[in-house]
Amino acid sequence: MSERLQPGDVAPDFTLPDADGNEVSLADHKGRKVIVYFYPAALTPGCTKQACDFTDNLDVLAGAGYDVIGISPDKPEKLAKFREKESLKVTLLADPDKTVLDAYGAYGEKMNYGKKYLGVIRSTVIIDEEGKVERALYNVRATGHVAKIIKDLAI
């Protein structure tokens, strides 16, 4: 488990398959601001709400110069089902080995009903045009999170 990222850190580069199996790299977005959000599992209620929120606000975010990427440990096939079922427009990437989740501090110890276990920590990292972390938000809520980002970024 790696450390959580801090503002000013260089965002770890990554290349992961999208829902169609095409490789997508953070480097592909150089010169653009990127919101990378990490979620536990496609096709679950909280993650669906969050992905739909990002999709519903994609025009606003893109208009302000932000690309949005969602990363989970799901396989590309499950991401494709998720995208189709919910009509998602955000880029969804598969990280079944959890290497990127770990590099971003979005995988680690969690607590549920008094039990500790390892899992995906719902997180959002906002990266500037130079590839540096502008904001790193951990243990975010699935509901209302996108509205808070828009408000905090004054979009």
Q: What is the pLDDT of residue 5?
A: 96
Residue (of 20, 38, 40, 18) closest to 28 by Cα position: 18
Q: From the CB of residue 41, how many other CB atoms can be counted at a distance below 10 Å?
A: 15
Q: Which residues are catalytic?
A: 47
Residue range 67-86: average pLDDT? Answer: 98
- Model confidence over 13-71: pLDDT tens digits? 999 999 999 999 999 999 999 999 999 999 999 999 999 999 999 999 999 999 999 99
pTM: 0.95
**CB 72 within 8 Å of CB 38:** yes
Confidence of residue 112 (pLDDT cuts 50, 70, 90): confident
Beta bridge partners of 136: 125
* 3-state secondary structure at position 125: strand
Distance CA 113, CA 111 (A): 7
Confidence of residue 110 (pLDDT cuts 50, 70, 90): confident
Residue (of 39, 42, 44, 50) closest to 122 by Cα position: 39
